[in-house]
Structure 1
């Protein structure tokens, strides 16, 4: 084993400073009682990638009529999320779910029954709201309870929480290798942005590693061989818009098939616009030899906002007046096995050869509580 300076040894190292990484680091100190925890984050600040560049939806189950488990977990986790992070949640808007007449994979009756089964509030929308939709293409419109989070406020909370807990946050830094240094003590080779690909990184040591790098799960080298679960990446575009008059306090999802959502995006005081057909620009199954983040850096597409808007106008004619402001370009990573039912279970994988090394992936922000349950059972045994 290498000679280790105490200043370079940590009880746990969390790789990835998104919402999951920051929350897990805080949990390890606050709940498990670890004294020295470090976060390694390649961006210049916490929560700059997928934690920010997403729809900002706080799920309440409605989005997953074809995956009861995912929907039920969202219903269960929502009160917990509001209890801890309610200050960041926008609730003062009306949320409508509309069921298309054709090509939907769920009927209005099925959707209403599904919501009742998971205990999610639902009612027929007011006639004034229903009139906004093309009645030839929309069979029914429901008013539900679904919210949006402000990722900027979540980041500010995480920064303060981690500082108060004395978590060592290493920004603009990447973990390039994990090496078993003997007796299940791991050496993490870390490089700052200026040291990238120079071989001049330095080492820190730990007995526990939490790989929360989202799309970069399999990009760490050394003795870490990657996750066994098959994952798929998408290069995506989330349009940010000014909604038409009368829609500033309304979020809409038309489902369940090749449809779309538009809802408040609190961090920018705009609305997001996403479309199942046009938001993903390209996709591929994970390959450890292809760095997804390098592909993202080269991703400079022509916006598909006009195509999104044209399709949305068929269902909601007023959206001809929606105004484009910006696009959020990001990676979306999902489990291959859930492409059929659109479920969003967590990935929590213990490395078979490196005890104490865990890889973690969640598809929704509220999945953090499912991760915490797993960590409780793993670390408190």
Structure 2
């Protein structure tokens, strides 16, 4: 079947970026007929949920001033725009290891002051949670978490208010140049039914699936690396329950509140990535994830964390979130986390967007501000 009514914009992917772009196009650019397509049964069920739920404030990127500074600029705006989803009632600590760290305590403190990020030495009580032979310094900083479930609720309400048509359990399989201009999209529902839809603009916001569209879609120019990652969720003991802790900056770890489930997440540079490969068309990363055995490495993570924070012995493992993480190859060896924003000249009106951090949404919107979208008649 074919959709008889041409639309202004097709959004492919119902994660945070796809939803935010749809809302932006409706509210800021005046596009009236927008369709958002999501392969899952509901919005924000994949990478937008299965992550560490951190709103960065720059501290994580001492080797990329640009990324750190952009986080500092974006955080207060993000908190102002989405106050209902933000968790602030915890203390965030950054600790610097004595060995194998790529930044010293002095360097880290100077870096924070350079980007204007609040930092102060942790109290003796908090410092006492760490093994002093392995930790050079502990700092109290200002960093927040977000509730992925509440963010999904925002998306559903905002899209409804903007009269964006949401089609879940549906995939876009191909994009073609329309015979009379615009773009023809091939849609396939979970039941196998296919249809075509004509649109003026198409936004590929599929994260790990950016290269999985057929037809005239040219693929993205940037090289991508795909990783299957594990994010364990833990019930923390009382001494750690009101804390978020990041050990910098090498083969270390981070523990953050995970508000959507009332638990803490744990990521570890060595053990979180399970499997990786270079992305290419036709090699579907979600198929690889579906068939991956998902054997947890949480025991390895906790044994390493325990060396630095003995109190973590009292943590209780609940479950693990497995997901495909997508990174730009050009940035995998440094701290930089720029957005990917590609405008495909070979398929006029089509764009691909990738962001590695939730607060990067403003970098995307700034790019879109510069695009000359024409309003419908």
> Gaps spanning 5+ residues in structure 1: where?
none
1:120 aligns with 2:117: yes
The residue aligned with 2:240 is 247
Question: Do the aligned partners of residues 224 and 245 (structure 1) sit closer, same or farther apart at CA in structure 2, a change above 3 Å counting?
Answer: same
By how many angstroms is 1:301 displaced?
2.0
Output one character per residue of 1:206-233: Cα deviation in whole Å (capped at 9) or x when no partner. 0100000000000010010210100101
1:223 aligns with 2:220: no
1:290 aligns with 2:287: no
1:328 aligns with 2:321: yes
Match of 2:336 among 330, 334, 343: 343
1:174 aligns with 2:171: yes
| TM-score calculated relative to the size of structure 1 | 0.96
1:236 aligns with 2:229: yes
How far apart are the structure 2 equivalents of 1:115 and 1:338?
Answer: 21
Q: After TM superposition, what 4+ stretches of structure 1 lie above 6 angstroms from structure 2?
A: none
By how many angstroms is 1:175 displaced?
0.1
1:102 aligns with 2:82: no
The residue aligned with 1:132 is 129
How far apart are the structure 2 equivalents of 1:380 and 1:124?
Answer: 49
1:62 aligns with 2:59: yes
The residue aligned with 2:89 is 92
> Gaps spanning 5+ residues in structure 2: where?
none
Output one character per residue of 1:182-220: Cα deviation in whole Å (capped at 9) or x when no partner. 34311100000110xxxx410011010000000000001
1:143 aligns with 2:140: yes
Structure 1 contact 98–141 (Cα < 8 Å) conserved:
yes
By how many angstroms is 1:359 displaced?
0.2
Question: Do the aligned partners of residues 129 and 5 (structure 1) sit closer, same or farther apart at CA in structure 2, a change above 3 Å counting?
Answer: closer
Match of 1:38 among 35, 39, 43: 35
By how many angstroms is 1:321 displaced?
1.4
- How do residues 188-207 of structure 1 correspond to structure 2 at under 5 angstroms? 188-195=185-192, 200-207=193-200
The residue aligned with 1:308 is 301
The residue aligned with 2:272 is 279
The residue aligned with 2:262 is 269
How far apart are the structure 2 equivalents of 1:158 and 1:289?
Answer: 30
The residue aligned with 2:366 is 373
Output one character per residue of 1:50-74: Cα deviation in whole Å (capped at 9) or x when no partner. 0000000000000000111111111
By how many angstroms is 1:129 displaced?
0.5
| TM-score calculated relative to the size of structure 2 | 0.97
How far apart are the structure 1 equivalents of 2:3 and 2:254?
Answer: 52
Residue 176 of structure 1 aligns to a residue whose secondary structure is strand
Residue 110 of structure 1 aligns to a residue whose secondary structure is helix
1:77 aligns with 2:74: yes
How far apart are the structure 2 equivalents of 1:302 and 1:42?
Answer: 25
1:362 aligns with 2:359: no
Query: How many residue pairs are counted as aligned between the two chains?
Result: 374
